[in-house]
Amino acid sequence: MRSVQPSEAAYDGLRLRQWSRGAARSAGIDRRDLLRLLAAASAAGPLAGLAAPAYAAPAAGTPSAPSAPGIVKPLPPEVFTVRGTNAETNFAALRRTGLLTPADRFFVRNHTVTPRIDAAAWRLTVWGSGLTGPAVEFTYDELRALPAVARTAFVECAGNARSFYATQQNQQVSGTAWTLGAVGTARWRGARLSDVLRRAGIGRDAVDVLPRGLDDEVVSDGIRLGRVRRPLPVAKALDDVLLAYEMNGRPLPPDHGHPVRLIVPSWVGIANIKWVGDIEVSAEPLVSPWNTGLYRLFGAGYPPEGSAPLTRQTLKSAFEVAPGASFPAGRRQVLTGRSWSGGAPVRTVEVSTDGGVRWRRARLRDRPRSGSWVRWSADWVPGAPGPAVLLARATDRTGRTQPGTAVHNTQGYLFDAVVRHEVRVVRRRR
Ligand SMILES: Nc1nc2c(c(=O)[nH]1)N[C@H]1C(S)=C(S)[C@@H](COP(=O)(O)O)O[C@H]1N2
Ligand SMILES: [Mo]
């Protein structure tokens, strides 16, 4: 159900076997706690925050916008739906934005709370058995003095669209009940991780690179998971990963990782560690909760210890239309939306306005690029008043098309099926 380069799949499979044999080192967590986490991961628990409406228009006179504990930026209800410590972007709020998601509309996924970090006092420590010498520190200015590269990339939570396993497929999954808005695309600018690793003296025997956030330690169901961290294979770390300090031409905002975060193009959101404080470079394989019990696929179609750790995101499409929106009968509409894939650039997008009987090509409004999304539009003249279902289905350059049903996994990751977007056609007022 996902697109993985053979080399990545081979790496993942190897790491998993090493860990099961005890040959990989669990960085910063007790082995028994990891096993408990694994057991919990293979049983689906309840969705968190499903009670929150997918989209609530602000009622007249609403006194204040809802807030998520620990998110710094304002979360106006017409832009965001708050889900626990996280804020989902309402897709309808992207309709008049460009290719890039403005920072004040970009979704936030926080395991705990946004830390406030002073860039002048911040240090990045690179250390570990995979370096040829001792630990090396970088200041913010030193990082900014390295050659800068810019790249347009989406960041998307692996659990984006998770709630449709429940609402569309009647399957139980655990985690935050995102609809489609746990994704955003920005222009990221920063230093290449490869430049930093080379300056720090990465050795030939390095295998894993483990960036760690400066936010609080995570405790989940009584298990202390430690600070947010997830190993990257050295091949990816040396490929296209950025240590970003700018988002859309401005310093990173606090909620998105100020002063520095990782950008790991096309990979699951969790790889994009925010507020990075240190990077361990290891000559032996590393595991953390975020590549063992979390961010693997568990369930009927998977081995008991789960799939290989997730790498690339899947394929999705979303309308920039509020769920349940009304359209006047007989009046021409321009429906707009976006499609994206972690596997390859989007090739085509098809739209159906009759629940999937007939499909037609949408017009692509951007040149498809890898790691980014495309905006598209399609005309629609709504017919008779009553309920209507809008569907959008993308195909990427690997030839993959969004299926009718996503393959279930207990934690509801990588939902790729076509989403049924219910709206109403209403009598036209004269
Ligand atoms: N340090 C740290 N990095 C983190 C997280 C976190 O909670 N702490 N959340 C991860 C997850 S699960 C996602 S989906 C992305 C979200 O990035 P955003 O909040 O900038 O949209 O950040 C990732 N990086
Ligand atoms: Mo995520």
* Mutation choice for ligand 1 from 110, 113, 241, CB with most ligand atoms inside 8 A: 110
User: What is the per-residue pLDDT for 292?
Assistant: 87
The number of the ligand 1 atom at minimal distance from the alpha carbon of 109 is 19
41-50, 106-115, 184-193, 225-234: which has the minimum mean pLDDT?
Answer: 41-50
Q: Judge if 274 and 349 occupy the same domain.
A: no
60: pLDDT strictly greater than 80: no
d(CA 416, CA 318): 11
End-to-end CA distance of the chain: 49
pLDDT average, residue stretch 332-352: 98
User: Is 79 a member of any domain?
Assistant: no
Give per-residue pLDDT as tens, 406-427. 999 999 999 999 999 999 999 9
Mean pLDDT, the chain, rounded, equals 90
Asked if residue 157 has its Cβ within 6 Å of ligand 1, the reply is yes
Q: Which residue, of 231, 257, 291, is where some domain finishes?
A: 291
Q: Which residue, of 275, 291, 307, is where some domain finishes?
A: 291
d(CA 173, CA 205): 39
Compute, in degrees rounded to 10, the torsion defined by CA atoms 364, 367, 4, 189. -130
User: Is 100 a member of any domain?
Assistant: no
User: Is 411 a member of any domain?
Assistant: yes
Q: 156 C-alpha to center of ligand 1: Å?
A: 9
Helix (H) or strand (E) holding 387, with range, is: strand 386-396
Q: How confident is the model at residue 59 (pLDDT cuts 50, 70, 90)?
A: very low
Q: 274 C-alpha to center of ligand 2: Å?
A: 11
Q: Residue 368 burial (CB < 10 Å; 0-12/13-18/19+)?
A: buried
% helix, strand, coil for the chain, step of 5: 15, 30, 55
57-61, 86-90, 391-395: which has the minimum mean pLDDT?
Answer: 57-61
Those residues with Cβ within 8 angstroms of residue 63's Cβ, 6 or more apart along the chain or in another chain: none
User: Is 302 a member of any domain?
Assistant: no
Output the domain CATH number for residue 210.
3.90.420.10
Output the domain CATH number for residue 368.
2.60.40.650
User: Is 71 a member of any domain?
Assistant: no
Give per-residue pLDDT as tens, 108-118. 999 999 999 99
Q: Are 399 and 352 in contact (CB under 8 A)?
A: no
Q: Name the token pair of 170.
A: 């009647």
Q: Judge if 399 and 327 occupy the same domain.
A: yes
Q: Which residue, of 243, 275, 291, is where some domain finishes?
A: 291
User: Is 351 a member of any domain?
Assistant: yes
Greater model confidence, 100 or 291: 100
Q: Judge if 361 and 415 occupy the same domain.
A: yes
Q: Are 127 and 216 in contact (CB under 8 A)?
A: no
Asked if residue 252 has its Cβ within 6 Å of ligand 1, the reply is no
Q: Judge if 283 and 241 occupy the same domain.
A: yes
Q: Judge if 38 and 127 occupy the same domain.
A: yes
Q: Judge if 246 and 139 occupy the same domain.
A: yes
d(CA 237, CA 214): 20
Task: Look up tokens 């700018």; give the residue.
Answer: 246
Q: Judge if 279 and 322 occupy the same domain.
A: no
Greater model confidence, 204 or 57: 204
Q: Name the token pair of 313.
A: 């995101």
How many domains does the chain contain in total? 2
User: Is 257 a member of any domain?
Assistant: yes
Task: Look up tokens 């693997």; give the residue.
Answer: 296
Indicate which residue's Cα is closest to atom 2 of ligand 1: 274
Q: Judge if 204 and 343 occupy the same domain.
A: no
pTM: 0.90
d(CA 86, CA 65): 14
What number of other Cβ atoms are within 10 A of residue 239's Cβ?
14
Whole domain around residue 413: which residue ranges?
315-426
Indicate which residue's Cα is closest to atom 11 of ligand 1: 270
pLDDT average, residue stretch 238-266: 98
Q: Judge if 325 and 259 occupy the same domain.
A: no
Reported as half-sphere exposure (CB side, CA atoms, 13 A), residue 322 has a value of 15
DSSP state of 229: B
User: Is 247 a member of any domain?
Assistant: yes
Q: Judge if 171 and 250 occupy the same domain.
A: yes
Q: What is the DSSP string of 364-402?
A: E-S---TTSEEEEEEEE---SSEEEEEEEEEEETT--B-
Q: Judge if 263 and 331 occupy the same domain.
A: no
Q: Judge if 286 and 323 occupy the same domain.
A: no
Those residues with Cβ within 8 angstroms of residue 402's Cβ, 6 or more apart along the chain or in another chain: 315, 316, 317, 393, 394, 395, 416, 417, 418
